[in-house]
Amino acid sequence: MKNIDNPYKQILVTGGAGFIGSNFILYMIKKYPKIKIVNLDKLTYAGNLDNLKSIEKDPCYKFVHGDICSPSDVKRAMRGVDCVVHFAAESHVDRSISGPAIFVQTNVIGTQVLLDSARELQVKHFHHVSTDEVFGSLPLDNKNQKFSEKTPYDPRSPYSASKAASDHIVRAYAETYGLPITISNCTNNYGPYHFPEKVIPLFITNALKNKPLPIYGKGRAIRDYLFVKDHCSAIDLILSRGKAGETYCVGGDSERNTIEVADAILKILGKDKNLKTFVEDRKGHDMRYAMDHKKITRELGWKPSVSFEGGLEQTIEWFKKNEPWWQRIISGKYLDLSRAAQNRNENK
């Protein structure tokens, strides 16, 4: 992949205290020390400013506590920026099944509020981060079939439906108002700062505590896993060289079913395979996701650089070294730390 220069002076990152957003901010600050980053985050359950503690005093970084559904919060954060990278979303399928309303509010209305402000403030580039789940599910018996930019949308959960709607409204603003946008649809991310309710960090933290690893159904569901730093590099390329109005699919070339994920984690940690336990399957469980990333590889020169085994080893090592981080989340104590960090950032 060729070296690139980012063309923007000030970038607004929404949801920058979350898993992928915080990794992206850390990636950009390290690679482009002169770019200013504004982080707009509501600090819901998955937003943790402890993720960004290492840069909270950096003069090129600014935190704004606010809600993407609030026009005044959005304008306050967006004023003066020339690029928006929109991560902020409710993102857990199980939570969307038990309470879909907040997913529609945040993922659809919040995106619309951001787009309106981007139009008004004449932002040069609005990049929307989406998911492979908008495409529905692939068959288990045809490994050659993958999602691509041409795949029809077929969302099957309240979460994926809300993300599909947000994708469509972003494209509508480009067509109707001429807003310069790009969209990326990525596969399942994993890596440092991954919120412990998701499958890989849940399995890692449970295994470290010798607790059962809960596997849905028969464990046959397959996901394509993408190391989070590879995802960050893909977005960086799209910002620098992506074509306005285009969508780019970002995949990890790492399809694994849930049993294989559990076995790999237990093997690296030297834990007993009997820690695997099977639980009732998720409602409407999509059985397979896989992404064809030929377009972003061909046009922008991106491809995943980290194998699943290599990324998993890095992730496990990070969780072993940062046990206080995930223990605070599991206990709920991180909320107090995020509030304290919020005060430090907003008062600097």
Out of 41, 132, 224, 292, the active site residue is 132
CA distance 224 to 144: 13
Could you tell me the two tokens for 176?
């109707």
CA distance 234 to 232: 5
Q: Is 334 a catalytic residue?
A: no
> Is residue 58 classed exposed, middle or buried when 0-12, 13-18 and 19+ CB atoms within 10 A define those classes?
middle
Could you tell me the two tokens for 236?
């960086």
Residue pair 175/302 in contact (Cβ under 8 Å)? The answer is: no
CA distance 195 to 15: 13
Coil/strand/helix, residue 301: coil
Q: Is 133 a catalytic residue?
A: yes
Coil/strand/helix, residue 220: coil
Where helices occur in 242-304 by DSSP H, the ranges are: 258-269, 294-300
CA distance 313 to 268: 7
Coil/strand/helix, residue 275: helix
CA distance 139 to 13: 35
Residue pair 41/17 in contact (Cβ under 8 Å)? The answer is: yes
CA distance 77 to 192: 26
Coil/strand/helix, residue 91: coil
Could you tell me the two tokens for 106?
């945040």
Q: Which of 243, 247, 240 is nearest to 2 (CA)?
A: 240
Where helices occur in the chain by DSSP H, the ranges are: 19-31, 71-78, 93-98, 101-104, 110-120, 158-177, 199-208, 228-241, 258-269, 294-300, 308-321, 323-331, 334-346
Out of 8, 159, 193, 289, the active site residue is 159
Out of 50, 67, 133, 230, the active site residue is 133
Q: Is 177 a catalytic residue?
A: no
Residues labelled catalytic: 132-133, 159
